Structure 1
Amino acid sequence: MRKRFIYPVFSLLILSCVESCYIPNSLYVFSPQTIPAGYQITKVEAVNCDPKTLHLTVEDPSFTIQSNGLIEARIPVTVATRGRTFSVRAQDNSGPGSEMKVHLVCSAKQERNENGQAILKRTKRRWSPPPINILENDKGPFPKQLETIVSDSDLKYNVYYTMEGPGVNQFPFEVFSLHKDSGVLTVYQTLDREEYPQFTLRINALDRQTHMPRDLPLDIVVAVDDVNDNKPEFQGKLEFTVPEQTADMVVGKVNATDRDDPNTDHVKIKFMLKDGLEYFALNPDTGVITTVSNKLDRETKDTHRVTVEIRDLKGAPNGLSNTATATITLADINDNPPTFTQTSYKASISENEGEKLILRIPVEDKDLINTPNWITKFVITKGNENGNFRIDTDPKTNDGLLYVTKPLDYEKTSNMKLEISAQNEAKLSGTTAQWMSIPVDVAVIDIDEGPEFLPPTVRYNVKENIPNGTVIGTYKAVDPETKSHNGITYYKASDPGSWVGVNRNTGELTVTNTIDRESPLVQDGIYNITVRAVDATSKSGIGTVILVVEDENDNKPLIPEELRMCEQTDDQLGSLVVVAEDNDLSPFSAPFIFSMPPVHDGNWDVKPHNETAALLMQKKKLPTGIYVVSIIAEDQQGFGGKQTAKMRICHCINGACMDKARSVVLGPLGILALLLPLFLLLLLGLLLIFFCSSKSEKILFDDTGYSSGILLPSNTEAPGDQVDSSLIILAKTGIEQAVKGSVKGSMVNAGWLGNKSTSTIGGYSVHDNGFQQNSGLNTMNKHTFSSSQFGQYGQHVGSQVFGNGMDHAQIVQSPAEFQNWRTNAFYLREKLIYLGNEMIEENECYADDLIHCYGYEGVGSAAGSVGCCSEHGDEGNLEFLDTLGPKFKTLSEISTMR
């Protein structure tokens, strides 16, 4: 199959939209196998080139090109069967220029088409033929003939042609067509290389009669040549971050792409920075942005925006371009140390105060807030050698907080001079500045302190069991202000065993009770007491006395009081390890020495087992039972003696001693569980007897002898209602000077008798001649009661003064006691007569201490006066109940019901 190529027409198809000087990328030309000198190969048409500055060059010295684009052979040239290729370049002043590859293809013969153009015709070779080139974005006119395809079989057979593939019967459709008779390949529309870079078409030559193939199928490639019709585009976000105060540091890389042919200059992009050149630089080939100055200060300007341009055709003026804004953010570095707002600070603190905030120190920092470059770390560089101070950072304000952690002593120092440095968590960078420090003066305020012991803790060595009264030492306190011991007294604050006494004036410590090192109050030989010192202003201080109790040999080794030994079933003799204990320390303790007393029963023997134990052995076979064994146990100082223990020889099972008889012992809950059913049965029987024997009947009340069914005199009267003072009738007798406030030295202010009335005090009737001994009168002693006390306790004075209602026969058991009772009764009787004759005219404050006579309150009332009840001197006479009137009628009926 042969192909006819129409190169002159195809090579001159140029898009009007191309801006730069342009020639096609490639050109295929059929030529003789031997090209003579001066043979015109083809003509190159340049588009958008300045004819005045256009310069055409060819790289193969066998050829030359004229200014009009005509290529000629300078010398005879032989074209090999594989063809020959050389480059042609077009360049003007508008840009980088363009390059074209010229491919020479050897042909067999030439024909002319209808227009008279030469058509090369050659025999189709089975190697892949060169592609047919079409310039993208060609605007026509369409349809446009590309080539004529002729098969070698058309010389012998009558054939027709068919074509298939993309652009024909595959998407995109109706792009190409092939004339079935002439084999002319035609294109119908503009092509976009970025969408369809090439088309592969399969052409068949078929017999017109049999429709069978007369030649092998031919694959034709239609390549779409690129034109610079796509601007370069930015890729990714143009946002970068770089530390401040840095030069020659990479900020970031600008990425760009171009959709044009990657094998052309259409995608070769140049990068350019339009502004910000005083701080940044942009590599034109790689797109890398770098800093050029160390004057980038975040505190002055933290964000920079620069314009970046990208242009293809290697940055030629006629190249397509695009611009964008890149944002460069300056990252903070610690180039600003914190600064103090003052040059010095002062604070004050009372002595003996601790864990107290005394000063807040503000600072300023220009670095980024809430970062390690801004957060301040305060350091006390001087004056805190004793650790009295602590400084923290307020997380909200970044201020320094100065605390006193250990109390200060005014007597030791009245002023503390500190030096405080303000630093950051991060180290300084990009600056020559240093951390700042300021002086802080802390004034200690003197206060009146209590005495203090020097030293606060004292230690004394003392032997146990030393005699009482032995002086241990003297522990004194001093006044911090005067440094004197005067006016200080001493007291024990704690002494768990009451072993030590403290002299109140001198602070001398003496033994008051036996000191025992083995006491649980002594821990590891140490016994602590505390002493309190109090000055004249009642301020106090505490000191600690540590007694190191030294051991004495006051404890002998002790063996258990009860021992058990298993009876041996064979002829062997039993033995037992006896362990002794001694609370003393070495050398007053183990190793112990064990022996038998000089006189013993001969049944036992003992020999050492270890330092604290002995082996007790039978000397002869003994039956089960309880024996008394005596052993001498002594410590290494020989202190000890004979000790007696009960030895029980018993039957054993698996080494455990078994009792001969066993019994079950019930605890309190067990006994209660056994007795509970008996109690329940007894209760049930009592209930049955009660229900069977009880019946409803009227119970008669005996109203004789002051039974509880009628109104009775009571000794539990509460204070009555307030009485109108106009109704009180005072006796018109003479009165002597009364004792003001209270009647001191009297037994009880029992009241006074007027002409009309008597009164009951504490359950006893009071008459002109003294007391009516209604319930018996007890013995009594002289006491002092004020008038207010009598008013408060008058309700119960009978039980408090005269006893608890007990008969005097129960109390008075001797003539002396009876005489004492009579003396007291006589005294009370005389006192009451004296008070009954008293008249109070000048000072009415004693009215409540005396018995009053009240006037008749029931004028005009059928009920009469309640006060009438006090007119009856005989408490046993109950006839007045019949004349009480309607006010107490109901109460009387209820009280006398039978």
Structure 2
Amino acid sequence: MGCSALTFNSVPLPRAGTYHRSSKGGAHQRHKRSWVWNQFFVLEEYTGDEPLYVGKLHSDVDKGEGRVKYVLNGEGATSIFTIDENTGDIHATKRLDREEQPYYTLRAQARSRETNLPVEPESEFVIKVQDINDNEPKFLDGPYSARVPEMSPVGTSVVTVVATDADDPTYGNSARVVYSILEGQPYFSVEPKTDRLGTGRDTSPPVSSLFQWITPAHVYQSNDREHRGVVKTALSSMDREARDQYLLVIQAKDMVGQMGGLSGTTTVTVTLSDVNDNPPRFSRKNYQFSVPESLPVSTVVAKIRALDLDVGPNAEMEYKVTDGDSLGVFRIATDRDTQEGLITLQKGLDFETKSSYTLHVEASNRNVNLRFLSLDQFSDTATVRLNVENVDEPPVFTSPLTKMVISEAAKVGTTIGTVIAHDPDSTNSPIRYSIDRNTDLERFFNVDAGSGVITTAKPLDREVNAGHNITIFATESLDPLQVGKGVVLIKVTDINDNAPVFAIEYETYLCESARPGQVIETISAVDRDEPQSGHRFFFSLTAETAGNLNFTLRDNKDNTASVLTKRGGFQRHDQTVYRLPVLIMDSGSPALSSTNTLSIRVCDCESDGSPRSCGAEAAMLSAGLSTGALIAILACILTLLGKRPV
């Protein structure tokens, strides 16, 4: 059999080798042939009425006698591509879109019509869909927003826009994009030509193991379809205070911008951010305010404001008084919400002393940008005149708080002290004094209306009230509505007018087993007086009881005294209670004393000395009376009293 080959595009390709049979010893030897294959190309988006001719397959075994038929298999065979089995002509029957599928891999075969056996080995080939410019560039991330500082230098990058073109970037100019700015000039520009993003890669179909693939340059295909355009500033004098926002329209056009190319647009909203390029300025150089002299300390007496065309931190102010307030009467601070300078009163005003103040105030930016202005240019000064207004003020006491001292022994009408008030106004109205009786409900004191002399109106008792806090009114005679107030603290001093007494009500018991000289009680005293040197009490038995045979008293000289037994053998049935008068004297001048009686009960005690039973009941029990007998006696007593026992 002779050598054969399938050829494509109706043009036989040069043979790189052939198969042939040779006779050596009657045997045939077959040598391998190498074939060179080209691609078929079909134009995408073909809109003709007839099937589109793609190319031709032919085998040199086919002598035109109709003994060979051609068969097509693979992607799109019969559904998209058809082959004339007699002639090998291939047609595309459908409209193709390269962006959906860029190539199709098929297999071709020549068979004998008689035997249906292959006359050629099956070969693989590719039909490549050839691109046309049917996709416009698209900004998938648009519209864009960007910020750039005002006064930025020419060429400052603002934003990078990206256009995507779905056409083949490796074939022709369909995907070669250039940028232009349709709106936004002369303030901004865009680089007209940009490099593609990423790195291209070969997406050509795989090579058949039977064929050597030759790649023409125009067939190289890249997945790189995105193109960057950098928007930059074109003027350095863009001032946010004049205009703070720009709307740009950016166009991307393929075919390198040539006529017939497709284009897409996007918008870029550019906002100028603020920089501190404007100094603060007072709207006027002189301010004048009236300030009543009666305003309390910490009152805001004036507000001034320096204006700054900048915004945010660039417009924040600092104010200070540079001159005119050597006494520190005023203070200026910044209101962080309004950026005003608030002048606050630090000390009380007095029209009669000083009727006006002239302050020099400086306003400066907190955040200084020396790129645009010098340090001195970031401040401004103004003069603030504060006129103090005279106010009809109420009388003022020489001392708003006066302390006085009076003895509790003072007689009614005794002078305690004098208060003095005056009218601070130039009218110098006469003053009348009175006591606020809400602070002296029991009317212990009087004040002379004309002189302000305070006297006692009732006897005083330090032990009841050691101090009095009274309010004195000072009223202008010419204007009774003007009333001043003063406070007088009156301390009542002590005299020795209270005798000492027992500190507590003692419950003293005496065991029947007590021995002579045993301490049965320790007593102490209290005194409502408060001598400056402290209390000193003296204890003794009264003269009537000093010689008794039962008890004695020992002064411990520490404001306590001990009661001791003189004998032993105390019995409850003899006497259940003893009463011992005790004389207590203080150390006052004159000294005061009192007699206090100590009751001592005789008790039956435990071995440790604690009382077990005391008093009359215990005595009767010890005399042999049973509990039943005691109950009978009690019933008789109740009967005699006309009461039925319970």
Q: Which of these residues, 379, 383, 395, is aligned with residue 451 of structure 1?
A: 395
Measure, in 2, the Cα distance between the counterparts of 1:302 and 1:556: 94
Deviation of residue 193 (structure 1)?
Answer: 1.0
Q: Distance in 2 between matches of 1:294 and 1:556?
A: 101
How far does residue 225 in structure 1 lie from its aligned partner after superposition? 3.9
**1:531 pairs with 2:472:** yes
Output the amino acid matched with 1:136: E
The separation in 1 between residues aligned to 2:345 and 2:58, in whole angstroms, is 105
Q: Indicate how the Cα distance of structure 1 residues 252 and 226 shifts in structure 2: closer, same or farther if over 3 A, else same.
A: same
The residue aligned with 2:380 is 436
User: Distance between the aligned counterparts of 1:605 and 1:131, measured in 2?
Assistant: 143
Which residue of 148, 154, 179 corresponds with 1:242?
A: 148
Residue 413 of structure 2 corresponds to residue 507 of structure 1: no
Counterpart-to-counterpart distance in 2, 1:416 and 1:566: 85
CA 1:559–1:325 in 2, change beyond 3 Å: closer, same or farther?
A: same
Deviation at 1:239, TM superposition (A): 3.5
Partner of 2:135: 230
Distance 1:551 1:147 in 2: 140
Distance 1:620 1:429 in 2: 111
Q: Which residue of 2 aligns with 1:349?
A: 291
1:260 aligns with 2:167: yes
Structure 1 residues 377 and 312: alpha-carbon distance in aligned structure 2, compared to 1, 3 A threshold: same
Conserved? CA contact 2:408–2:494, under 8 Å: no
TM-fit CA distance, 1:546: 3.7
Distance 1:210 1:167, change over 3 A: same
Give the SS at the match of 1:234.
Answer: coil
CA distance in structure 2 between the aligned counterparts of 1:409 and 1:606, rounded to whole angstroms: 72
8 Å CA contact 1:333, 1:430 repeated in 2: no
Q: Alpha-carbon deviation of 1:165?
A: 5.4
Alignment of 1:325-724 (within 5 A): 326-354=268-296, 365-367=308-310, 408-421=349-362, 431-432=372-373, 433-460=377-404, 462=405, 465=408, 467-468=410-411, 473-481=417-425, 487-493=430-436, 495-496=439-440, 498=443, 501-509=446-454, 519=464, 522=467, 527-537=468-478, 538=480, 539-547=482-490, 562=505, 643=596
TM-score by length of 1: 0.45
Alpha-carbon distance change, 243 to 500 in structure 1, aligned in 2, over 3 angstroms:
farther
- Kindly tell me: are residues 178 and 529 of structure 1, through their superposed partners in 2, closer, same or farther at Cα, counting changes over 3 Å? same
Q: Secondary structure at the match of 2:163?
A: strand
* 1:296 Cα deviation from its structure 2 partner: 1.2
Separation in structure 1 between the aligned mates of residue 147 and residue 113 of structure 2, nearest angstrom: 74
Say whether 1:251 aligns with 2:158: yes
Match of residue 93, structure 2, among 184, 188, 199: 188
CA distance in 1, matches of 2:569, 2:357: 88
For 1:439, what is the secondary structure of its paired residue?
Answer: strand
Match for residue 81 of structure 2? 176
CA contact (8 A) 1:271 1:282 kept: yes
Q: Report the residue type matching 1:233 in the other structure.
A: K
Task: Please say if residues 453 and 477 of structure 1, whose CA atoms lie closer than 8 Å, have aligned partners that are also in contact.
Answer: yes
Q: Secondary structure of the equivalent of 1:289?
A: strand
TM-score, normalisation: structure 2: 0.59
Distance 1:476 1:587, change over 3 A: closer
Partner AA of 2:352 in structure 1: E
Q: Distance in 2 between matches of 1:262 and 1:406?
A: 82
Task: Give the corresponding residue for 2:203.
Answer: none
Distance 1:269 1:258 in 2: 8
| Code of the aligned partner of 2:188 | F
How large is the RMSD of aligned CA atoms in angstroms?
Answer: 6.2
Task: Kindly indicate which of the two structures has a greater share of residues assigned to strand.
Answer: 2
In structure 1, the partner of 2:230 is 288
Q: 1:268 to 1:358 in 2, by over 3 A?
A: same
Alignment CA distance shift 1:641-1:318 (3 Å): farther
Equivalences for residues 756-767 of structure 1 within 5 A: none
Distance (whole Å) between structure 2 residues aligned to residue 326 and residue 211 of structure 1? 67
CA–CA distance in structure 2, aligned partners of residues 491 and 427 of structure 1: 62
Per the alignment, residue 638 of structure 2 pairs with none
Change in Cα spacing, 1:189 to 1:473, as seen in structure 2 (3 Å) is same
CA distance, structure 2, for counterparts of residue 555 and residue 162 of structure 1: 143
SS in structure 2 at match of 1:194: coil
Give the whole-Å Cα distance in 2 for the aligned partners of 1:226 and 1:307: 29
1:577 positional shift: 11
Report the Cα distance in structure 2 between the residues aligned to 1:222 and 1:271, rounded to whole angstroms: 34
In the alignment, structure 1 segments of 5+ residues that lack a partner are 10-28, 34-106, 111-120, 153-157, 651-898
Q: 1: distance between equivalents of 2:255 and 2:571? A: 128
Quick one: distance in 1 between partners of 2:127 and 2:389? Answer: 103
Q: CA-to-partner distance for each residue in 1:375-424, whole Å, 9 max, x for gaps?
A: 8787666667656678887989x887877697631122111223445567
Asked whether the 8 Å contact 1:251–1:291 carries over to 2, the reply is yes
Change (3 A) 1:160 1:146: same
Question: Cα deviations across residues 752-784 of structure 1 (Å, max 9, x unaligned)?
Answer: xxxxxxxxxxxxxxxxxxxxxxxxxxxxxxxxx
Q: 1:143 to 1:529 in 2, by over 3 A?
A: same
Change (3 A) 1:32 1:150: closer
Structure 2 contact 13–37 (Cα < 8 Å) conserved:
no
- AA aligned opposite 1:346: Q
Asked whether the 8 Å contact 1:239–1:328 carries over to 2, the reply is: yes
- Is 1:301 matched up with 2:301? no
Kindly name which structure, 1 or 2, has the bigger radius of gyration based on alpha carbons. Answer: 1
Contact 1:353/1:406 (CA < 8 Å) preserved in 2?
no
**1:148 alignment partner, one of 57, 75, 80:** 57
**What is the CA–CA distance in structure 1 between the aligned matches of 2:121 and 2:500, rounded to whole Å?**
128
Asked if 2 retains the 8 angstrom alpha-carbon contact of 1:562 and 1:646, the reply is no
Q: Among all aligned residue pairs of Structure 1 and Structure 2, give the percentage whose two residues are the same amino acid.
A: 26
d(CA) in 2 for partners of 1:109 and 1:328? Answer: 72
For residue 835 of structure 1, what is the aligned residue in structure 2? Answer: none
Give how far 1:279 is off: 4.1
Letter in 2 for 1:480: P
Q: Following the alignment from structure 2 to structure 1, what is the Cα–Cα distance between the partners of residues 231 and 552? A: 109
501 and 226 in structure 1: CA distance in 2 versus 1, 3 angstrom threshold = same
1:197, 1:332 → 2: CA distance? Answer: 51
Bigger proportion of residues as helix = 1
Aligned to 1:832: none
Q: CA deviation at 1:515?
A: 6.0
Deviations 1:319-372 (A, max 9, x none): 75555554423234454455433321222234324598876757655456xx66
Report if the CA contact (8 A) 2:364-2:378 is conserved.
no
**Would you say 1:4 and 2:10 are equivalent positions?**
no
2:211 maps to which residue? none
Aligned-pair CA distance for 1:230: 3.0
Q: Distance in 2 between matches of 1:161 and 1:639?
A: 152
Distance change (3 Å), C-alpha of 1:558 and 1:422: farther
CA-CA distance at 1:588 after TM superposition: 6.2
C-alpha deviation, 1:301, in angstroms? 2.5
* Conserved? CA contact 1:388–1:404, under 8 Å: yes
Q: What is the CA distance between 1:144 and its match in structure 2? A: 1.8
Shift of 1:176: 1.0
Secondary structure of the residue aligned to 2:436 is strand
The 1:335/1:143 distance shift into structure 2, 3 A limit, reads closer
Post-superposition offset of 1:316: 7.6
Query: Distance between the aligned counterparts of 1:556 and 1:31, measured in 2?
Result: 149
